[in-house]
Amino acid sequence: MADLKAGVNQLFLREEELRTGMELLFYAYREFTAEPDEILEQYGFGRAHHRVIYFVGRYPKITVSELLAILKITKQSLSRVLGELVRQGFILQQTGVRDRRQRLLELTEKGNELERQLSETQRQRIARAYRMVGAEAVEGFRKVMLGMLEESDRAKFTPLAPPRLTAVKR
């Protein structure tokens, strides 16, 4: 009887625990994007612009196809926002030297400023959370999040750092 009760209770805890995880992800993601969204609005941009700016800032000289592989959207979708960002002087395209078909993407100074402005609130939000809980909890957070990723995405984080794109011919 005691065993049965414990079992049921654990089942309940488990179910509740999993739901909590799902909801934490939902609420956290929404609040994580809320502040940048407001800033973007002032520029007539949306979340898609933010993502492009972020990853171009993260990986200077990234090619269009590498960016597509990260974002997992179609080139038509990317083209729309990337085109706006280039035309409005936030991103610079340089023809590749090794392969002149490639357009290597980079943030301009203007683009860099916007990137910093957009990500600042997010960095602060994470920094605040990290500070609140201590290094051990942060490590736990990192582990759980990694555990939720597919192998392919997980690879991007393996050494815990240097921003290198997966070995792609450049």
| Residues 6 or more apart whose Cβ sits within 8 Å of residue 125 | 31, 32, 35
- Binding residues among 131-170 for DNA as defined by CB under 7 A: 169
Residue 127 CA to residue 120 CA, distance in Å, equals: 10
Neighbours of 96 (CB within 10 A): 13
Scanning 2-10, 86-94, 103-111, 135-143 for contacts with a copy of itself by CB under 8 A, the matching segment is 135-143
Name which position in 100, 131, 143, 164 contacts DNA (CB under 7 A).
100
User: Closest distance between DNA and the C-beta of residue 17, in Å?
Assistant: 26
Under a CB-based contact definition with an 8 Å cutoff, are residues 92 and 106 in contact? yes
107 scored as a contact of DNA (CB under 7 A): no
- DSSP class of residue 88? T
Site pattern 49..68 for DNA (x: CB under 7 A): x-x-----------xxxx-x
Under a CB-based contact definition with an 8 Å cutoff, are residues 101 and 139 in contact? no
User: Judged by CB, which is closer to DNA: 73, or 146?
Assistant: 73
61 scored as a contact of a copy of itself (CB under 8 A): no
Tokens of 47: 């979340």
| Residues contributing to the site for a copy of itself (CB under 8 A) | 14, 16-32, 51, 54, 58, 72, 119, 122-123, 125-130, 132-133, 136-150, 153, 156-157, 160-161, 163
